[in-house]
Amino acid sequence: MFGKISKTAARFSGVCRQDAGMVTSEYAMGIIAAVGFAVLLYEVVTSGQVRAELAAIVKKALSARM
């Protein structure tokens, strides 16, 4: 009985789901979200405090004795 139900469920899931990918509007929203996240990340990384911390880390790494 369980095997019959699982086969029927698998067949229906294959029939009901015929989409091949995202539509143009979904691509546009994905690109807008990615660009917004990139701008936010750029602003954070180039801020004064983060830039000073990164410079301190690089300076400490370059001045380490081997």
pTM: 0.48
Instruction: Name the maximum alpha-carbon separation found in the chain.
Output: 71
Rounded CA-CA distance 58/41 in Å is: 20
The closest of 31, 55, 51, 34 to 43, measured between CA atoms, is 51
Q: What is the pLDDT of residue 41?
A: 92
Q: What is the pLDDT of residue 31?
A: 93
Q: What is the pLDDT of residue 5?
A: 73
List, for residues 4-55, the tens digit of each pLDDT value.
677 666 666 655 556 566 678 888 999 999 999 999 999 988 888 888 998 9
Evaluate whether 22 touches 30 at the Cβ level (below 8 Å).
yes
